[in-house]
Homo-oligomer: A and B are copies of this chain.
Amino acid sequence: MVVVMSPDATAEDVAHVVEKVEGVGGEAFVSKGVVRTIIGLVGDLESFHHLNLRTLKGVADVHRISDPYKLVSRQHHADRSTVWVGKEGKRVPIGPDTFTFLAGPCAVESAEQTLEAARMAQSAGATILRGGAYKPRTSPYAFQGLGVKGLEILADVSAATGLPVVTEVVDARDVPVVAEHADMLQIGTRNMANFGLLQAAGDAGKPVLLKRGMTATIEEWLMAAEYIAQRGNLDVVLCERGIRTFEPATRNTLDVSAVPVVQATSHLPIIIDPSHAAGRKDLVVPLSRAGIAVGADGVIVDVHPDPETALCDGPQALLGADLRELAQAVRRLPEAVGRAQAHDFVGRG
């Protein structure tokens, strides 16, 4: 931590800062510049936070130097992690050596539609099924999901196809029932900073797919992962799904740079979601290719047997020729960037 004094700070102001820092057992290194004095702090960060150094007289600014997250950092866990999803003996890996394809309908609407979408996903190469039973919607008048009935459909389709299931949970009170039916809990973009939900998910004993808040910095996102990890659950997969920018041509801007940035600083796996980022079907295939090439550990997309009748996000769901093109990219491109296919490792974790 570095304390920057203002140009008109006095020697007493500097001494007061040093005294405070030493009072909590830290060390303070003073560098007097021509215009300003800076003070480098060495010691326990948490105790420095409690000093409220920014409120002290003569202090212009305080810069944090280290990362605020610990359990999800590569600092003490240099090797990147693999998270295994699914029932024992059939677990699917998401991690640094493989490429994992996740697909399914945005919302579970019926047993037939879900099964059909799962079959589409599976023939396109997907090894994990996605599908929403609880839908957080901007409008209280929009379809809010089938709830427990949707979870039962997902469990049935999972049994029928052998695909593990990831599904969103939007309320801490629903965590137990979702964890009972699904293989992985998804925390959506709007709930990334819903700390009670993060903690409940951390307690649930299942891997968690944590989407980036559409307006969260990478650091805030990793702090959200830290909330889950702090409950003893390190099986967290991050999902970049687009950030809010000034550009109106796409619903959000897929931040592919987040993939190597996260991989440099955290050991957690990271995948991308091009469907929700773009909100446009015609961008899903090129953005999926970009995600694979930038080094993502997986890609998750919306598929639907009949987008015209979809109750949620129909315009971004793939089918037909688009899905075949994506299947081809998913089959070929990972190898070109040095990755094996996750389906070749199913059941090994």
A→B interface (CB under 8 Å):
2, 4, 7, 27, 29-36, 38, 40-43, 46, 49-52, 54-56, 61, 63, 65-66, 68, 75, 136-142, 170-173, 190-191, 193-196, 214-215, 217-220, 223, 226-227, 230, 243-250, 253-261, 264, 277-278, 282-283, 286-287, 289-295, 307-311, 314-315, 317, 332-333, 336-337
Inter-chain contact A75/B35, CB cutoff 8 Å = yes
Whether the pair A139, B223 counts as a contact (CB closer than 8 A) is yes
Q: Across the interface, do A140 and B230 meet the contact criterion of CB distance under 8 Å?
A: yes
A293 to B286, CA, bound (A): 7
Query: Separation in Å of the A158 CB from the closest CB of chain B?
Result: 25
Which of B7, B215, B282, B337 is close to A244, meaning CB atoms less than 8 Å apart? B215
* Contact (Cβ within 8 A) B246 A257: no
B-chain residues with CB within 8 Å of residue A2 when the two chains form the complex: 2, 38, 40, 63
Do most interface residues of chain A lie in helix, strand or loop, or is the interface mixed?
Answer: mixed
By the criterion CB–CB under 8 Å, are A247 and B256 in contact?
A: no
Most buried by B among A7, A29, A260: A260
Q: Give Cα distance in the complex from A247 to B259, angstroms.
A: 13
> What's the nearest-Cβ distance from chain B to residue A41, in Å?
8
> How far, in angstroms, from A23 to B190 measured CA to CA in the complex?
35
Known: A140-B226, A245-B253. 4 other contacts (CB 8 A): A190-B195, A250-B261, A254-B257, A257-B283
Selected A-B contacts with CB under 8 Å, 27 pairs: A31-B40, A33-B66, A34-B42, A46-B141, A52-B308, A52-B310, A55-B307, A56-B308, A63-B63, A68-B139, A140-B226, A173-B173, A190-B195, A191-B194, A194-B194, A215-B246, A245-B246, A245-B253, A246-B246, A250-B261, A253-B253, A256-B286, A260-B282, A286-B294, A292-B293, A333-B336, A336-B336
A295 partner residues in chain B, CB cutoff 8 A: 286, 289
User: Are A311 and B65 in contact, CB atoms less than 8 angstroms apart?
Assistant: no
Asked if A255 and B257 sit within 8 Å, CB to CB, the answer is: no
Please determine whether B55 and A315 come into contact, CB atoms closer than 8 angstroms: yes
Closest B residue to A260 by beta carbon equals B286
- How far is B193's CA from A223's CA once the two chains are assembled, in angstroms? 19
Determine the distance from Cα of A315 to Cα of B60 in the docked complex, in whole angstroms.
11
Find the B residue at minimum CB distance from A202. B140
Partner of A142, one of B43, B49, B66, B141: B49
A339 to B195, alpha carbons, bound, how many Å?
Answer: 39
Task: Report B-chain residues with C-beta under 8 Å of the C-beta of A315.
Answer: 52, 54-55
Residues in B neighbouring A191, C-beta threshold 8 A = 193-194
Our pick among B172, B223, B308, B332 for the contact of A173 (Cβ within 8 Å) is B172
A65-B4, A286-B295 are known contacts. Are A55 and B308 too (CB-CB below 8 A)? Answer: yes
Select which of B139, B261, B290, B307 is within 8 A of A226 by beta carbon.
B139
Q: How far is the CB of A140 from chain B (nearest CB, A)?
A: 5
**Judging by beta carbons under 8 Å apart, are B195 and A170 in contact?**
yes
> How far does the alpha carbon of A220 sit from the alpha carbon of B214 in the complex, in Å?
14
- Which one of B141, B194, B246 lies within 8 Å of A243 (CB-CB)? B246
Q: Lowest 4 A-B CB distances belong to which pairs?
A: A215-B215, A31-B40, A293-B293, A29-B31
Min CB distance A88 to B, Å, is: 30
Contacts of A7 in B (CB 8 A): 75
